[in-house]
Structure 1
Amino acid sequence: MNKFTIQKVLISIFTLSLYSLTAIAGDKQSDANSNDRDNHAGKVVRMSNEIAIQNDISATTVLAREIAVKATLYGRISADPASLSHIRARFDGVIKDVKVNIGDSVNKGDILAVVESNESLKSYSITSPFDGNVIARHANNGELSNGQVLFSLANYKNVWAQLTVFSQMLSRIKVGQSVDLSHAGFNQTSKIAYITPSADGNPHSLANVSIDNSTGYWPLGTLVKAQVTTSTKTVKHAVPLSAVQEYEAKQVVFVVEGDDYTPRAVELGVSDGRYIEVISGLETGERVVASNSYMIKADLEKSEAGHDH
């Protein structure tokens, strides 16, 4: 095998490698309505379908879509007033037997204490009004009930997010709107149940959102972030947010035509965190890279760096 033949074999092996992406930064014949308008004429990554599959690079079709317009609010987790109870004796008397302590779990109807009535001298039971936990105890054997709070019970399986709504936002925030809540990697979707003025007299309102806290992941006092869907907008062209990259100081997507992946500058509009409106730069039916688009960008930049040297 001569030197020329060896070189041809090596070139063929390199070209057929399933793990290489070949960027072509040279001249490329293209439609004047596409490449010329975004100043990326001649820039393209050529890649087989097999390589795209191995690198989890997928494409999607540009279509019309309804995008949720959202407002960001912040607030804190508070107790549900209906899940907090301060329990007194029905009739004054002597506390004969205390059955629970702070931290104990109780079910509805469980006996908390036994009291002997001063009037009838008969004993009666104080029972739990709902399932929950004892968070305070002010009762000991032999003491007089005397109308005081003997126990405090709480059930934190349902809590509230109280979101701060400043005056400039009030016209957009309404009862019934969907809310995506998050903190420390935990997420939950709920709705605004009601809106109230601030209890401390500050110039803002509170949007109250009920939260299922059966997991215990939403403790009282936790600061939460909320994305409130205030309206929806039907846009002519939308792409996944993951399709957009910054390339040569522009927002671009990579248009897929056969084995060619070409950067296309786009003007962007509203986003709902998953999809984003494309105001100009794309047409309905075109296909763009939807996942791992950063790999196409990286290959273009690597190729250009090589040409610089």
Structure 2
Amino acid sequence: MSRRIPVSARVIAAVGAGLGITLAAFAFLSKQSRGDAAATPAADAAVAAVEQYSLAGLIVKVRLSERADDARLIIAPSVDGKPVTQGVDVRATLTRPLGSPQTLRFVTSGSELVSDQAIAKPHVFDAALDVSWQGKSGVFAFARNDGAVVLSAQQMQTGDIALASAGAGEIVSILQLPGEIRFNDDRTAHVVPRVGGVVERVPVTVGENVAQGQVLAVIASTDLADRRSELLTAERRLAAARVAYEREKSLWRERVSAEQDYLQAQVQLREADIAARSAREKLAALGASASAHALNRYELRAPFAGTIVEKHATAGEAIAADSNIFTISDLSTVWAEMAVSAQQLGAVRVGRQATIKAAAFDSRSTGRITYVGALVGEATRSGSARVVVPNPDGVWRPGMFVDVAVEAGRIAVPLAVANDAVQDIDGAPSVFVESKKGFIAQPVTTGRRDARTVEVVSGLSAGQRFVASNSYLLKAELGKLSASEE
């Protein structure tokens, strides 16, 4: 037995069902209408990110194709469930937080209308869909926010995310040159004993750090013994001559002796003083003291603080006065020497900054060019240049091969950002730009770059606020959003 349902109950049920579906599918979208359009959104919950509108019996479904390389807006108009494309006129205007509006026309493709232009990423925009059908028209609004990263002030502070305004910058032109670490010749000494003799003791060894004045070797030298004996004899003669002079001076004043005797004593005193002074300076030139105990003992001392890099002395070995028995180098600074081609010599100038990077391990240092050679080798057709490199930790060792980046000049560019601001998003360089919808990964075209800065040719405007540091954190958040959507 059939039971008649009151008309009022059927109306309430239908309205309730329609309202439930609408809220479920379009809670995040905004819609509006104008003119005589019946802008009543319905829902198709089975299809994600689909907009559905009604206009004078025409059902209009809108979706964005998910082809990353050629995303387009697709319209599926129908009447009573049957596709209808003839007589349907659609135009869409996309307004992005960044950039100018994009107007789309539609062409028929089977039972659908497809936008005549691709929609570039990021898909963050407000859309106005203008539909005309059988003399009726309506404008429907919806939005897409795929890829906008929203961060709180606390997240910004925790991640140390800093913003900056896009503007002009400088690109440092870098010249890459091969180089080699060498001793600083200005702080390297080949130590010679300056006296011949036999080595008695060598208290130091290769690689040892020594202080200025530290004993390097003890040498028994007959030459030194003769010099010290000469000084002792000269000093005794000087003392005797001084006594004789004082005696003759006193006798002459008392009119006891002749003036000639007094003058002769004065001459002898001066000659003795000259002889003693000469003997003393000869010892000083050898770096020896006037010791009266061990006349033949010579202590060879370090001329300055440094590291012993060569040693050619062994106890019992006979050495000559000009033997190079030690090489000491102050390794707190070293030289990076570069070979510079004739074409590049004009860009390598004294005073310019250079960055030295080790070829064998991850270490770098900076210094300034202190020397550029005036000659070009006939065989190599290249000149030489030198950078003084600070080496407080002894990381740079002579003989190491290095890469030297020399600042060859500066180029002013109208728009530049820090290298850290640019991230690779879907294979394209992008900068996270601040907008009302959040931070948007804005694709950019980059140009020249240096170690810190990159030129932005297109995709970014002067004055736009962007993430200047730690932008990799936003890239990670964007990856999470993409994963959750999938």
TM range, smaller chain: 0.7 to 0.9
**Pairwise CA RMSD:** 3.6
With over 3 angstroms needed to count, the CA separation of the structure-2 counterparts of 1:126 and 1:38, relative to structure 1, is: farther
The 2-side partners of 1:300 and 1:213 are apart by 43
Q: SS at the partner of 2:392?
A: coil
1:168-207 Cα shifts (integer Å, max 9, x gaps) = 4222221211012233333322101112368895333332
The 2-side partners of 1:239 and 1:101 are apart by 55
Q: How does 1:199-210 map to 2 (within 5 A)?
A: 201-210=379-388
In 2, are the aligned partners of 1:252 and 1:263 still within 8 Å (CA)?
yes
Q: Which residue of 1 aligns with 2:332?
A: 157
The 1-side partners of 2:353 and 2:441 are apart by 36
In 2, are the aligned partners of 1:245 and 1:297 still within 8 Å (CA)?
yes
- TM-superposed CA distance for 1:268, in Å, is 1.8
Structure 1 runs not aligned, ≥5 long: 12-24
In 1, are the aligned partners of 2:199 and 2:313 still within 8 Å (CA)?
no
Q: Are 1:40 and 2:121 counterparts?
A: yes
In 2, are the aligned partners of 1:270 and 1:276 still within 8 Å (CA)?
yes
The 2-side partners of 1:119 and 1:41 are apart by 87
Q: TM-score, normalised by structure 1?
A: 0.77
Q: Are 1:78 and 2:78 counterparts?
A: no
1:12-57 Cα shifts (integer Å, max 9, x gaps) = xxxxxxxxxxxxx968632684475993363341414347425554
- TM-superposed CA distance for 1:159, in Å, is 1.0
Query: Which amino acid in the other structure matches residue 29 of structure 1?
Result: T
Q: Which residue of 2 aligns with 1:98?
A: 201
Q: Which residue of 1 aligns with 2:307?
A: 133
Q: SS at the partner of 2:213?
A: coil
Q: SS at the partner of 1:171?
A: helix
The 2-side partners of 1:41 and 1:139 are apart by 74
- TM-superposed CA distance for 1:243, in Å, is 1.8
In 2, are the aligned partners of 1:35 and 1:42 still within 8 Å (CA)?
no
In 2, are the aligned partners of 1:95 and 1:140 still within 8 Å (CA)?
no
Q: SS at the partner of 1:118?
A: helix
Q: How does 1:160-309 map to 2 (within 5 A)?
A: 160-183=335-358, 184-196=361-373, 201-297=379-475, 300=478
In 1, are the aligned partners of 2:202 and 2:313 still within 8 Å (CA)?
no
Whichever of the two has the greater Rg, that structure is: 2
Q: SS at the partner of 2:203?
A: coil
The 1-side partners of 2:404 and 2:477 are apart by 37
1:289-308 Cα shifts (integer Å, max 9, x gaps) = 2234345445556656776x
The 1-side partners of 2:188 and 2:326 are apart by 11
1:133-181 Cα shifts (integer Å, max 9, x gaps) = 3333333445432343233323222211112323342222212110122
- TM-superposed CA distance for 1:238, in Å, is 1.5
With over 3 angstroms needed to count, the CA separation of the structure-2 counterparts of 1:127 and 1:297, relative to structure 1, is: closer
Q: Which residue of 2 aligns with 1:30?
A: 96
Q: Are 1:66 and 2:147 counterparts?
A: no
- TM-superposed CA distance for 1:88, in Å, is 2.4
In terms of fraction of residues, the more helix-rich structure is 2
The 2-side partners of 1:286 and 1:239 are apart by 11
The 1-side partners of 2:427 and 2:314 are apart by 73
Q: Which residue of 1 aligns with 2:265?
A: none
The 1-side partners of 2:442 and 2:189 are apart by 62
% identity of equivalent residues: 25
Query: Which amino acid in the other structure matches residue 229 of structure 1?
Result: E
The 2-side partners of 1:161 and 1:32 are apart by 48
Q: Aligned pair count?
A: 288
Q: Which residue of 2 aligns with 1:20?
A: none
Structure 2 runs not aligned, ≥5 long: 1-19, 28-62, 65-72, 74-93, 103-117, 125-146, 227-294
The 1-side partners of 2:341 and 2:300 are apart by 45
The 1-side partners of 2:221 and 2:325 are apart by 14
Query: Which amino acid in the other structure matches residue 179 of structure 2?
Result: G
- TM-superposed CA distance for 1:234, in Å, is 2.5
In 2, are the aligned partners of 1:137 and 1:151 still within 8 Å (CA)?
yes
Query: Which amino acid in the other structure matches residue 318 of structure 2?
Result: L
With over 3 angstroms needed to count, the CA separation of the structure-2 counterparts of 1:107 and 1:35, relative to structure 1, is: farther
The 1-side partners of 2:160 and 2:462 are apart by 24
